[in-house]
Amino acid sequence: MRKTAIYRDDLFLDHNPGPSHPESPQRLQVIYNELDKESIGGRFIYPRFDPASTQIIELNHSPQLVKRVAATAGKSSGFLDADTQTSANSYSAACLAVGALIDGIHRLDQGEIDNAFCLVRPPGHHAENDHSMGFCLFNNVAVAARWAQRDLSMKRIMIVDWDLHHGNGTQNSFYNTDQVLFLSSHQYPYYPGSGAVLQSGSGAGEGFTVNIPLAGGQGDYEYARIFNELVRPIARLYHPDMILISCGFDIYDGDPLGAMRVTPAGFAYMTRVMRELAEELCNGKLLVTLEGGYNLTGMRDGALAVLAELQGEEIAGIGLGKKKWGSLQKADIECAQLEQAISMQKNYWEL
């Protein structure tokens, strides 16, 4: 059994964009409710952690953006863009979310934990250097990666984003560098409009942005092919110092904002591939952070599937039979968009 850390805090439930907003506290509450069961939650480690400072957040964001978000503190409601609303404790929650990732990376580096899942809100992968957008205030994973570069001298960080929506903010943070490999599978064309297969980085970063735009309707077998035929070989060629996952459960079959068909089995499989790669390539340094997901059943069952694979122990009612595992490992279902992405990446990687 691996030492899997979970980062949770009730402050993340206090970020409330409004009663009709899809990015609601209930998304996280349904997962916390499961962790409150001793048979499930008692198996994990729950570190204490602090919010990220302004100086750390500014590793990836302009001072003007940080001040704008900070100005929302204590106000019952506010808008950072048409989709991105705040409440009185949103700024505090956003700083604590970044702090969770940084603490997790520090503990991974020190060998205190084997892997981690940051169950945080607000999400982050849409937030750009100078503006919040898409329900995201600060880009949690991008700030944390920059901190790892500065404070831990990491030279090769791999970020895998399987959220339904393209992580535009994360892509733009590292588009010109080879020190972060960003790989995203996402529905396209769809919000936010970025993530075309031809977007592959520029300058020193050319080839280190990998986009797999999908038309919709893809499920466990298509995602298994993506991870078997693209994610796994590129990871081995890149050989990262650490792997971060932007985990969106909005690719769940039944999510109201998307058209994907992934089940808990698919989330478990993707996590297992990434856990095995981390153990093979970077001493197991794997951290997962929550992004989107708007079906409460999908949030609950998806999170439990990820946690089971991180720890390497089954959770009752969540998991896969051996037959399903084998079929996913050998998935050969047609996926034209994947073939296009592979063709594109052959310009940069020996696939």
Give CA torsion, residues 108, 289, 35, 110, to 10 deg. 10
- Residues facing 186 on adjacent strands: 213
Handedness of CA 272, 277, 282, 286 (dihedral sign): negative
- Residues facing 219 on adjacent strands: 261
**Cβ-based burial of 260 (10 A; exposed 0-12, middle 13-18, buried ≥19):** buried
Q: Is 131 a catalytic residue?
A: no
Q: Measured between alpha carbons, how far is 167 from 147 in angstroms, rounded to an integer?
A: 19
Active-site entry in 125, 126, 131, 166: 126
Handedness of CA 234, 278, 144, 246 (dihedral sign): positive
Residue in 36, 61, 152 with CA at minimum distance from that of residue 102:
152
Q: Measured between alpha carbons, how far is 337 from 335 in angstroms, rounded to an integer?
A: 6
Are the C-beta atoms of 23 and 256 separated by less than 8 Å? no
Residue in 85, 145, 139, 80 with CA at minimum distance from that of residue 287:
145
Which residues are part of the catalytic machinery? 126
